[in-house]
Structures are given as C-alpha cells and as structure tokens.
C-alpha cells in the first residue's frame, strides 16, 4: 500500500536531497555519535545506479559531516552538498538553480516539519517527505520510495550522470577560485560541439531527449506512442529534413549527447519539428550556438523555457571529432548556385556559405538562381532600374555582384544547373538600348502568375524575346556559365558540378537530355583542373531516391560526402548519417 507521505510525488525525480541528522542516519552529529542506517546507504547507491542524483542539505559542520560520509563510503555519491548552519529554503533553491534542475523534479527528505515548510515556501513545486521515524535501523519507512514509478530512473550503473554533475561541481569551484565572470569562465572552458548526423543506433537517445527534456525543449512535441515513433521515422526520410544530435565536451569533462534538432527546409521557409537540449549544459550557450549554426530559423517557441535563443556563444567551437582542431567544414567557405534542395547538400559541407538558391519573392512566387542569366548577364548598375529584371527575373544588381565575390573567394563552389539547360522559358530583354543584352529564365509558375494581369502580359510581349534553342545551343549556354564561374574562382578552390539521375519515371521522359547534360558536365570537368563532376547515380543509392530529382536526407548527405571526399584542399574526415 502506498505510503500517504509519498502521494505528492508524481513527476520523475532527478534529485533526492537528504537531511542528515535523524534522517539519513540515526542521531545528531554535533551532539556525539550517530548510527548509520544501512538501508539508506544502499538506497543512495541504488538511486545513483538509476541516474537519480543525491545531494545533502544539512545544518552541520562541513568537514565533520564529510569525514563521516567518507567513512561510510558514500561521500563521492553526493553532488552539490550544502552543509552549514544557514537556512534550508534558500539553500535548496540555490542548489537547484546551480544544478539546472526544476523543483518539480526534486525530492526533499527531512525530519523537521519547519524545514519542510520552509523549503516548500522557496520551492513550491518540490516534493517534500517527512522522514521522521525512518531511522529505526531498518530504514523501511523510506525504502518504499524505490518502488515509486517516479523514482525508477534508467540504468546508469556506469554513473555517467554522476560524473557529469561532478564536472559541474569542479567548474563551479574553478570559477569561484579564479574570480572569473561567467563569460570569462566559459571562454577558458574550451567548449567543443560535435554534430552527429548518423542517427543509426542512437534512436533511443533521440527519443529520450524529445520526451524527457523540458527546460530547454523549445518545441515540446513528444514521440511517445508506436504510431508517433513510426511517423517520426517517416519524417526523417523526407527530402529537406535535417536532423542531428549534439555532443559536448570541455576541459572539465564529457557531457555526452545533450541535444537534438530536426527541421525541414523548403523554398517557402523552415519548419522546426524538434529542438531540445538537456539541462546539463544549461547556461553554456550550446542551444544558442546550434540555433545560429542552423541559420537562426524562425519558429514559435513552446514555453516555458529556461533561456531564449538570442545571446553570446563565442566561446564554443565545432569539431569534427574531440581532441581535433576546428573542423575543416567549419573553417572553409562555400558558394552555391542551384535549386533550394542544394541547401540540403551544403548543410553537410560547411557553415560559411553564400547561397544563391531558389526562393519565393514577396508575392510568394519562385525566383530561380539556376538561371544562365544570373551568371552571364553584364554586371550593370542600371539593372536595378530595369523593369524586367526586377519584376520578372527577381535578381538584383547587388546579388549579381555578391555572387561574383562569392565565386572569387570561396574554397568550394557548387553548381546545380540542370534546370537552366532543361527549360524552354528562356528569354532576352533590352538594356541600355541594346537588344538581347540580358538573359532571363522564367519558371512556368512565375510566367503564369505574371500573365494573369493583362497589362503586364502586353508589356511582357513588347519587352521579351523568346529564345528557341536546340539542345546543343542550350548545352553551350550552360557551359558558358560554367566557364565564367571557373574563370572567377581561385586557382586553389574546387568547382563541383552536379549531374542528374537517368533513373526513374521522370528521367524516362527526358532521358536524352539528361544523358547529354551529364556528358557535357563530365567533359567540362575532365578537361580542367580543380573541377569535379558529381555523378548522381554513382553517388546516391537507389533506395535514397524519392523521385528522379529528389532524394532522402541520407541521399543529400551522400552527395555532400562525395564533395567532402573530392575536395583536394581539405583533409575532411569521413562523415556518417543514418
């Protein structure tokens, strides 16, 4: 039968705080001898084996109490002990703040009802149990706690959670001894972050982070049922979905895997499905760093959360593996031109990216950058005053200059231009009185949207000239774009040109064009140093195709892996992904 004193313990307990005199042991330490309660010693060991921490809040002399606990062989099993003669309410609240725990996940044991009431006043959500009479030698009055669902924890006989809190204690002591500000302390801590995109074998940890984190769970979307888990697995296979685990270490120790993110990028925005972190790295800036690394996507935060996402984090560095210097992917720069799915490739190639990828304009209509005109058009300031360029193409003069600068400075340039070859909607328009000065590709949906307005339709007819090019002429035009980018890039930089698949239903309808495009790209690369052709069918397994032109998250990663391996300037370690 459930002890009535335990009836208020509903939420998972992560910390048990013990009083000492007449609670943990029988007797009062300052008044003479005490008698150990073997059941309580074993209870502490059992709790720590379950990943549930134990602490102390006792009015006693610190050194005397510590010596006695060392003699009993349990001192090292307690974390953040508070042993002095100060009031307990403020002490418990401070302990929880320093450990980054919610009061709702803590249990306080004491034999004095005034202490219990004081702690409850300072921490209204904490569970308090009157432990008077529990030290009769058997400890059975408290032993029932171990049977409660809220104190089952999880198997942690390796004491990894204990080790993490011991690290936190050491950090706190160093900060006090060094008289450092919080930011100065973090800067000398050498905090390193590793992003793990290989979720194979890690799914239990992923689900645990999604379901068990609260204070730093910014989405609070749980995965608890079999159906939800199946839906989550399906989500991870959708093109455009990025997901990864976050592992953290610093000079004090290993925090393990502390975070998980899962977001989907599409041309019209980003959907954040999961963004959650363990409180063990609370106030270290990890969640802010990851959010910034992902491009600061906008999403509605599901409160309450302990911290916002804006803030400083210049003390954190990304590594490809711990013990290694800054990762190559973190230090190199990329320039990209292509469809929006190219962002999914670039995510695994580096963080310093200049992306010229398809996006919606203010009216929600796609602006395409995989357009030969974007690369080949004269860089003329008058473009910003050109009606066709602004209303039809959507490219600004400043974007054209930015693209040239990116091509000239990047370590890696990645081009995905099949649409520019495949399209029939290629036009020219006038500039500075020169007929056919500018090229522009108008996607079918954009052309349809523009022609809904009769006035604009008439203006388009008067301004644009439709180019009817055969296959070879279109290949020559795209090759000219490649040639210009090649001429702009640094000699030591690598240009990657993405081919297209010749498999699948969509490819079957355009087989001749796809083969011709791949052959042109392959020949261009083979004839020039510093150019690599990415053969899609040789790179992406058929199981990772969604259709002829779209792949799963793993498929895009395979392309990135091929780029990383082929970049002669980078000694990039092999990456893995589920």
Q: pLDDT per residue over 444-494, tens digit each?
A: 777 777 777 777 777 777 777 888 889 999 999 999 999 999 999 999 999
DSSP labels, 85-140:
SS-HHHHHHHHHHHHT--GGGEEEEES-HHHHHHHHHHSTT-EEEE-TT--SSS-H
Closest by CA to 163, choosing from 237, 255, 92, is 255
Percent of the chain at pLDDT exceeding 70: 89
CA distance 157 to 145: 19
- C-beta separation of 49 from 162 below 8 A: no
Please report the pLDDT score of residue 117 as a whole number.
92
CATH of domain 10-156: 3.40.50.1000
Name the residue ranges covered by the structural domains of the chain: 10-156, 180-318, 328-566
- C-beta separation of 426 from 441 below 8 A: yes
One fold for 180-318 and 328-566: no
Say yes or no to pLDDT of 392 above 80: no
CATH of domain 328-566: 3.40.50.1110
Residue 369 burial (CB count, 10 A): 28
User: Which CATH entry fits the domain spanning 180-318: 2.40.50, 3.30.1380, 3.30.420, 3.40.630?
Assistant: 3.40.630
For residue 294 the two structure tokens come to 């992902």
Q: What is the pTM of this model?
A: 0.56
Ramachandran bin of 432, using left for φ above 0, alpha for ψ from -120 to 50, beta for the remaining angles: left
Q: pLDDT per residue over 168-222, tens digit each?
A: 888 777 777 766 666 777 888 888 999 998 888 899 999 999 988 888 999 999 9
Q: pLDDT per residue over 219-256, tens digit each?
A: 999 999 999 999 999 999 888 888 999 999 887 777 88
- Helices (H) and strands (E) counted in the chain, each on its own, are 23, 25
Where do the H-state alpha helices sit in 179-296?
Answer: 182-187, 203-212, 226-236, 286-293
């Amino acid at each position: 039968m459930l002890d009535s004193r335990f009836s208020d313990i509903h939420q998972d307990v992560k910390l048990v705080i013990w009083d000492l005199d007449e609670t943990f042991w029988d007797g009062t330490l300052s008044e003479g001898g005490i008698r150990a309660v073997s059941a309580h010693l074993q209870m502490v060991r059992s709790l720590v084996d379950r990943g549930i921490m134990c602490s102390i809040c006792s009015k006693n002399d610190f050194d005397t109490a510590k010596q006695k606990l060392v003699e009993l062989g349990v001192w090292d099993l307690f974390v953040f002990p508070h042993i002095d003669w100060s009031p307990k309410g403020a002490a418990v609240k401070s302990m929880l703040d320093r450990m980054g725990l919610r009061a709702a996940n803590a249990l306080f044991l004491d034999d004095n009802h005034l202490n219990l009431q004081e702690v409850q006043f300072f921490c209204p959500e904490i569970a308090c149990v009157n432990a008077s009479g529990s030290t009769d030698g058997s400890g059975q009055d408290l032993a029932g706690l171990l049977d409660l669902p809220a104190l089952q924890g999880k198997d942690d006989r390796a004491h990894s959670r204990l080790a993490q809190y011991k690290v936190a204690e050491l950090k706190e002591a160093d900060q006090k001894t060094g008289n450092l500000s919080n930011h100065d302390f973090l800067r000398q801590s050498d905090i390193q972050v590793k992003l793990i995109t290989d979720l194979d074998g890690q799914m239990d940890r992923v689900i645990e982070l999604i379901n068990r984190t609260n204070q730093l769970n910014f989405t609070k979307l749980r995965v608890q049922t079999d159906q939800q888990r199946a839906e989550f697995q399906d989500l991870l296979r959708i093109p455009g979905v990025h997901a990864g685990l976050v592992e953290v270490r610093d000079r004090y120790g290993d925090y393990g895997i502390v975070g998980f993110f899962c977001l989907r990028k599409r041309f019209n925005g980003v959907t954040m499905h999961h963004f959650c972190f363990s409180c063990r790295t609370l106030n270290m800036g990890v969640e802010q760093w990851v959010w910034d690394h992902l491009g600061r996507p906008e999403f509605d935060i599901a409160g309450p959360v302990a911290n916002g996402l804006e803030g400083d984090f210049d003390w954190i560095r990304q590594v490809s593996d711990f013990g290694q210097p800054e990762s190559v992917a973190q230090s190199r720069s990329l320039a990209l031109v292509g469809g929006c799915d190219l962002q999914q490739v670039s995510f695994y190639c580096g963080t310093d990216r200049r992306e010229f990828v398809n996006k919606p304009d203010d009216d929600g209509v796609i602006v395409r950058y995989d357009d030969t005109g974007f690369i080949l058009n004269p860089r003329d300031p008058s473009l910003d005053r050109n009606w066709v360029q602004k209303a039809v193409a959507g490219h600004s003069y400043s974007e054209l200059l930015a693209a040239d600068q990116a091509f000239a400075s990047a370590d890696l340039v990645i081009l995905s231009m099949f649409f520019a070859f495949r399209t029939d909607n290629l036009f020219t328009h006038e500039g500075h009185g020169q007929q056919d000065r500018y090229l522009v590709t108008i996607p079918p949906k954009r052309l349809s949207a523009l022609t809904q307005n009769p006035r604009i339709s008439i203006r388009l007819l008067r301004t644009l000239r439709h180019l009817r090019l055969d296959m070879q002429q279109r290949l020559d035009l795209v090759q000219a774009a490649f040639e210009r980018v090649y001429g702009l890039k640094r000699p030591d930089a690598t240009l990657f040109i993405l081919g297209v698949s010749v498999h699948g239903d969509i490819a079957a309808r355009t087989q001749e064009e796809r083969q011709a495009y791949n052959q042109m790209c392959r020949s261009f690369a083979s004839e020039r140093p510093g150019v690599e052709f990415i053969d899609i069918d040789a790179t992406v397994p058929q199981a990772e195709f969604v259709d002829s032109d779209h792949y799963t998250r793993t498929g895009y990663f395979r392309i990135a892996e091929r780029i990383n391996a082929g970049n002669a300037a980078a000694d990039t370690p092999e990456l893995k992904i589920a």
